[in-house]
Amino acid sequence: MNTAETEKDTELYDKIETYFENQLERTNFWLSFAEAKNGAIIAINVALIAVLITIFDKAPIFCVIAISCFLASCTLGLISFIPNTKSRPDVNTMASGEELNLLFYGDVASIETTERYIELSINRYFFGKGMTLVNKLVYDLASEVLINSRITIKKYNWFKNAVKVDFMALVLTIIFLCVA
């Protein structure tokens, strides 16, 4: 291998490494956002529970039901904070590589293995060149992107479920206020 080829390989390796570093940064942003949303829903629920406690003597049965709903929502939000300490992603079922957006955590989360994620990314963004340049750092970055993408999906799902329970509690509150 001559010097020009070695420089091209080094340049390509740097681009591949930078791509996966940027992907990890992007995924971590969405993960932080999901955690913030779950924290916010817990705070809102606690405030609503406090309000319901102040009117408990006026409608104890309603308050017990509504407080139970808000506590259930808090529980769903709290479940999202259970840490995932696995160093390797679980195996997932995957859609076809052509229809995936490899920059979107939701699509990345559906990729079955780290190796497949690296392969799809290199084929799409680096024209299939550079598979031989994938080292342990790139593999670990890609693995972390895959793990964090799946964690982000779970956190958003817990958030969606908590919001559904909150809507149910709010509807009950509105009904109570109309009836009372």
Range 154-159 contact pairs with CB under 8 angstroms and sequence separation of 24 or more: 154/80, 154/84, 155/31, 155/34, 155/35, 155/37, 155/38, 155/80, 156/34, 156/37, 158/38, 158/76, 158/77, 158/79, 158/80, 159/34, 159/37, 159/38, 159/41, 159/76, 159/77, 159/80
> What's the mean pLDDT when you consider all of the chain?
87
Instruction: Tell me the whole-structure pTM to 2 decimals.
Output: 0.75
Question: What are the tens digits of pLDDT across the range 83-136?
Answer: 766 656 666 555 566 789 999 999 999 999 999 999 999 999 888 777 777 889
3-state SS, residue 15: helix
Task: Give the pLDDT band (50/70/90) at residue 172.
Answer: confident
